[in-house]
Amino acid sequence: MTLETSVNESIIGDFLNFNKNIAEMPSKISVPHEVKMDTCDYDVVYEEDRIRMLHYKPLTKKQIVTPLVISYAIVNRYHIFDIDPKKSWIRNMLESGIDVYMIDWGTPTKMDKFLGFDEYVNGYLDNCIEDVCDRSSVNKVSLQGYCTGGTLATVYSALHPEKVKNLIATAPIIDGWKDTTVVSNIAKNFDVDKMVDVVGNMPPEFIYYCFSILKPFEQGIEKYLKFFQNLENEKYVNSFLKIEKWLAETPPIPGELFKQWIKGIYQENLLSQDKMFVGNQHVSLKNITMPVFTQVAVGDHLVSPECSMPLHYAVGSEDKNLEIYPTGHVGMIASSYSQKNVLPTLTKWIKTRSD
């Protein structure tokens, strides 16, 4: 008896090509850790402990007077805002005549495990904004916060409204109880006291675990299959390596800040319930009376829209805008979609509300 099997020739061809690509890969592409991440030039204008503030060099002759300070998230690094010249948030802002500063929260060490909301908001963020005000001879700045940086920017605007001309909250974490992501499902039952007591700072490995449960098959298998199939496409490979490098470089989170975050935002929902205190000061979202632009993404699997949107309804501002985009958490800030649909509205909004 003979067993006959027939396999389509092109399947074998694809399989052989795939293997050939893997074998030839090292000679074709750069070493991932040597890939340059930023595309716009900047100067480091302020440093304190581990944090740095970057000031991007202008790309237009004339700029609006009110500078924009971006409070990046405490997870991953700021590079995603300027990782590809054609998808760069920063470049788009600079080309629109906006003077842009970026806060890089740096890499906390074991010594920084006592840093909490108070030190980040009333310390670092306030010092950065004071520095920008001195440099630009202004009393107020436009403040943008992304993801966890959006929460810091929101808390700052509630405590120091006199220094914020406009607040832009991009996928901020506001109402932890309404968050429907798998990350919040883990956070709600998490024994954060024990974790911080034993390991000090929140280790990057744990953050990677949280990333790995978000679309594990699309991000963990399909993405790499696509990469091996597209090795000839230089543009694709470059962009892939930059994103991978960005994803792999997340700093630890200071233990105290992480504890306050998980307990205060996800487990007890203090900010949204008007019960949050930072540095003995009550954080009331009603104190936010400056113009507010809230940006959320329908496909955000890290911060669900339901978690961010309450900000729009809770602030005391009369001039407020809520935009919901059909994209994802990263797609909202670093994609062709954001260049075409998110940034034009935002830059116009900032310019009409700036000096």
Partner 1 sequence: MERSFDNMFDYYKHTSMFWNDMISMMSSKPTSLTAVGPLRNFTENIKKISQELIESNQEIVDFNSYLIEYYKQLGETWASSQKKVMAKVSEMPQDPESMEAYKRIWIDMFENDFTQLFDTESFSKNYNKLVSTEMQLLKRWNTIMDIMLKSANMPTKEEIDEIYQELFNLKKQVKKLDSSKKRSNRK
> Scanning residues 119 to 148, which ones bind partner 1 (CB under 8 A)?
119, 123, 127
In the complex, the smallest distance separating the C-beta of residue 154 from partner 1, rounded to whole angstroms, is: 23
Instruction: State the nearest-atom distance from the C-beta of 216 to partner 1, in Å.
Output: 6
- For partner 1, the binding residues in 170-209 under the rule CB under 8 A are 182, 185-186, 188-191, 194-195, 197-199
Supply the DSSP string of 148-168, one letter for each residue: HHHHHHHHHHHH-GGGEEEEE
Determine, following the binding rule CB under 8 A, whether residue 45 of this chain makes contact with partner 1: no
2 near partner 1 (CB under 8 A):
no
Q: Which of residues 82-121 bind partner 1 (CB under 8 A)?
A: 110-111, 113-115, 119
280 binds partner 1 (CB under 8 A): no
165's tokens: 């001309």
Q: Are 305 and 166 in contact (CB under 8 A)?
A: no
Q: Which is nearer to partner 1, 78 or 227 (CB)?
A: 227
CB 23 within 8 A of CB 74: no
Cα 325–chain centre separation: 16
Binds partner 1 (CB under 8 A): choice among 2, 3, 4, 7: 7
**Cα–Cα distance for residue pair 297/333, rounded to 1 Å:** 10
Q: Is 3 in the site for partner 1 (CB under 8 A)?
A: no
> Rule CB under 8 A: which of 219-238 touch partner 1?
221-222, 225
CB atoms within 10 A of CB 286: 11
Closer CB to partner 1, 12 or 36, in the complex: 12
> What is the SS3 assignment for 296?
strand
Q: How far is the CB of 180 from partner 1 (least distance, A)?
A: 8
Catalytically active residues are: 147, 300, 329
Dihedral over Cα of 53, 330, 146, 77: its sign = negative
Please answer whether residues 104 and 56 qualify as being in contact, where contact means their C-beta atoms are separated by less than 8 angstroms.
no
Whose Cβ is closer to partner 1: residue 37's or residue 45's?
45
Using CB under 8 A as the binding criterion, the count of chain residues that bind partner 1 stands at 35
Choose the stretch contacting partner 1; rule: CB under 8 A; options: 7-15, 17-25, 33-41, 59-67: 7-15
> What tokens does 290 get?
């400056």
Measured from the CB atom, is 10 or 27 closer to partner 1?
A: 10
Beta bridge partners of 43: 55
How many residues are given for the chain? 355
CB of 126 to partner 1, least distance (A): 9
Half-sphere exposure of 59 (CA within 13 A, CB side): 15
d(CA 76, CA 74): 7
43 binds partner 1 (CB under 8 A): no
Q: Which stretch binds partner 1 (CB under 8 A): 10-18, 94-102, 159-167, 324-332?
A: 10-18
93-101, 214-222, 239-247, 288-296 -> range binding partner 1 (CB under 8 A): 214-222
Contacts of 208 (CB under 8 A, 6+ apart): 250
The least distance separating partner 1 from the CB of residue 213, rounded to whole angstroms, comes to: 5
Contacts of 332 (CB under 8 A, 6+ apart): 170, 171, 295, 297, 300, 325, 338, 342
Pick the closer one to partner 1 by CB: 199 or 322. 199
Q: How far is the CB of 298 from partner 1 (least distance, A)?
A: 16
Burial status of residue 182 (CB atoms within 10 A of its CB: 0-12, 13-18, 19 or more): middle
51 contributes a contact to partner 1 by CB under 8 A: no
Tell me the C-alpha distance between 162 and 167, whole Å.
Answer: 12
Interface contacts to partner 1, rule CB under 8 A = 6-8, 10-11, 14, 49, 110-111, 113-115, 119, 123, 127, 182, 185-186, 188-191, 194-195, 197-199, 213, 215-218, 221-222, 225
